[in-house]
Amino acid sequence: TDELLIKSEKLSVAGQLAAGVAHEIRNPLTTLRGFVQLLQSSDKGNQKYYDIMLSELDRINLIVSEFLILSKPHLRHFDRKDVANILESTVALLDPQANMQNIRIEMNNDSNSSFVNCEENHLKQVFINLIKNGMEAMPNGGNLKITVRNVDAQQLHIEIVDEGVGVSSEQLKRLGEPFFTTKSTGTGLGLMICYKIITDHNGKIAITSEIGEGTTVNIFLPLYQEVKQEAEEKLHYVE
Ligand code: ADP
Ligand code: MG
């Protein structure tokens, strides 16, 4: 156990360092972006180069932001929250964009109870990443169906089904691998973040997909257990 402890302490320092570096990169990026915009407004001849610089800066910023979500160290706060509510507010957030892309998001809560012990913002991040992936897989519009149900008294099942492009079985194996993306503007960090967060919640993700048919993401989370969980509530450490 001594060795294990040392190993997790090391991870914690590495995690903190990574978060620190990511954070420090953002400030100079903001300065750079500002000056590029300033130059762009007074130099009419080179517009396309400024546009490239700006979009590349935005890309660095996106990667750093996603990385920051992953590497946030320190204590986290787990609470009893209703997953159906979290999903509903996430759908409300993404609905305007979905409408513009001719995508209809349908949410069905077939569960008796959908309370879990969780860090709400992190679960919301998972749902945002997964719904966005579904939307990006349907460039010509379609339906995205979310269903929440109880597997049994212990487990909650969240199913997110899209009618998008799907992935091949070779690609399916690589989902969640850092920087694996098939999109020209993708980071390939979204699913990795989802796996990390769901694993931290003692849950599981299983994805199935069919090229040209669509993709189904299944999330399993342990339901909140009144008696057992009150004792161990609130103190959870990240690596
Ligand atoms: P990104 O969205 O930045 O590419 P992700 O980690 O979110 O990174 O996803 C990695 C890859 O997995 C995507 O580039 C895509 O090829 C595939 N993928 C994920 N979700 C879906 C989906 N719902 N439908 C089709 N492909 C998907
Ligand atoms: Mg994504």
Burial of 92 (0-12, 13-18, 19+ CB in 10 A): exposed
> What's the pLDDT score for residue 104?
98
Global confidence as pTM:
0.82
* CA 168 – ligand 1 centroid, Å: 12
What is the average per-residue pLDDT within 101-123?
95
> What's the pLDDT score for residue 66?
82
> What's the pLDDT score for residue 5?
46
Its ipTM equals 0.99
**pLDDT higher for 61 or 77?**
61
Ligand 1 pocket list (CB less than 6 A): 129, 133-134, 137, 162, 164-167, 175, 180-183, 186-192, 215
Pocket test of ligand 1: the residue of 70, 133, 218 to mutate, having most ligand atoms within 8 Å of its CB, is 133
Least trusted range by pLDDT, from 8-22, 52-66, 129-143, 214-228: 8-22
Euclidean distance between CA atoms 60 and 74, whole angstroms: 25
Average pLDDT, the chain: 88
Count of alpha carbons within 13 Å of 103, Cβ hemisphere only?
A: 27
